[in-house]
Amino acid sequence: MKNIILAANWKLNKSPAETRRFFKTFFDEGKKKSFYAQIGKQFQVVFFPSTISLEATSESVKDSEVRFGGQNIYSESQGAFTGENSAKVIKELNGHYALIGHSERRQYFHESNSFLNKKIHHALKSDLIPMYCIGETLEERESGKTEAVLLAQLTEGLKEITSANGKTLVVAYEPVWAIGTGKIATADQVKETHAFVQKTLAKLDLEQTPILYGGSVKAANAQELIQIPHVSGFLVGGASLEAAAFLDLIQNSLA
Ligand code: PEP
């Protein structure tokens, strides 16, 4: 069985009170599911709440095997960087992950591959697992540039990150045109692109890296997508906001 990771990106949603309510339902309902006892053993469940809800998440998941992380970190842990997020604080709250390079960070905050590389190094140094997002825009796909874009995102973003670092890394392939749009990449597109990402990671001496797929994944398409070679799980936006929908998605990903 694949070592599956199911990750929830809540973006700028859920206050601390809403976060606590979500986890109450998630655990009340989740404990009734046969897969519940396998969380953290046969597969991982990871939440990325907004920064203001990290502490509520930390408190809510503390007696479980559920993991969480920050949606973004800065490349330094402290100093005169107004408005930024600290890997050290995420670690202090018992977080395990840092989401790095989500397409919304690249698009709205102009984060480049070389800047993201600094964040990945900093996450590893801070003992957080970077979940590094890559993906092409619709224009790039339609003009035949998908592989060139992904190659640059992987080689520049993962510069001097090798398995020799002895640390863990996760890559999330998310075609930008499939994020929050309801448009899902076809099984053939996912298969072809994940094979390319896997081949590129192998060349970078990172072939053990799990590769997640993201972009309008929901309970209804999870079962088909998880069968595709080199798909090790999902990064999920919209379908992770309701506990029942996310539990269904988890269930179908394991079927
Ligand atoms: C995301 O935000 O990473 C994402 C994949 O969103 P959605 O599932 O809503 O497309």
Based on its alpha-carbon atoms, the radius of gyration of the chain, rounded to whole angstroms, reads: 17
What is the residue with the minimal CA distance to atom 6 of ligand 1? 237
Q: What pLDDT score was predicted for residue 166?
A: 57
- pLDDT tens digits along 125-143: 999 999 999 999 999 999 9
Per-residue confidence (pLDDT) for residue 37, from 0 to 100: 96
User: Is the predicted pLDDT of residue 88 greater than 70, yes or no?
Assistant: yes
Whether the CB of 9 sits within 6 Å of ligand 1: yes
Q: What percent of the chain is predicted at pLDDT more than 90? A: 93
Task: Write down the pLDDT at residue 48.
Answer: 98
Ligand 1 pocket test, candidate residues 48, 134, 174, most atoms within 8 A of CB: 174
Of 102, 122, 194, 230, the active-site residue reads 102
Q: What is the pTM of this model?
A: 0.96
Angle between helices 219-226 and 243-254 (to 10 degrees): 20
Distance 80 CA to ligand 1 centre (A): 31
Q: What pLDDT, on a 0 to 100 scale, did the predictor assign at position 1?
A: 55
- For atom 1 of ligand 1, the residue with the nearest CA is 237
Across the chain, mean pLDDT equals 95
* 102 catalytically annotated: yes
Res 3: pLDDT: 81
235 lines ligand 1 (CB under 6 A): yes
Give the range among 100-109, 183-192, 226-235 with minimum mean pLDDT. Answer: 183-192
* Mean pLDDT in residue range 60-86: 96
* Per-residue pLDDT at 153 exceeds 90: yes
139 carries an active-site annotation: no
Is the pLDDT confidence value at 118 over 60?
yes
Report the separation in Å between the CA atom of 127 and the middle of ligand 1, taken as the mean of its atom positions.
26
Q: Return the H-helix or E-strand segment holding 130.
A: strand 129-134
Does the beta carbon of 238 lie inside 6 Å of ligand 1? yes
Contacts of 241-247 with C-beta under 8 Å, sequence gap 24+, read: 241/10, 241/13, 241/14, 241/22, 243/22, 243/23, 243/25, 243/26, 243/29, 243/30, 244/25, 244/29, 245/218, 245/219, 246/8, 246/26, 247/26, 247/29, 247/30, 247/33
* pLDDT the model gives residue 163: 77
Report the range of poorest mean pLDDT among 26-30, 148-152, 160-164, 218-222: 160-164
Task: Convert the pLDDT of each residue in 17-42 to its tens digit.
Answer: 999 999 999 999 999 999 999 999 99
> Ligand 1 pocket, 174 CB below 6 A?
yes
The pLDDT score that the predictor gives to residue 14 is 98
Q: What does the pLDDT read at residue 180?
A: 86
Whether the pLDDT of residue 83 is over 60: the answer is: yes
CATH homologous superfamily of 4-253: Aldolase class I (3.20.20.70)
Q: Which atom of ligand 1 is nearest to the CA of 238?
A: 9
3-state helix, strand, coil in the chain (%, to 5): 45, 15, 40
Domain ranges of the chain: 4-253
Centroid of chain to Cα 122: 17
Q: Is the minimum distance from the CB of 104 to ligand 1 under 6 angstroms?
A: no
Q: How many CB atoms lie within 10 A of CB 147?
A: 16
| CA atoms of 118 and 76, how far apart (whole Å) | 9
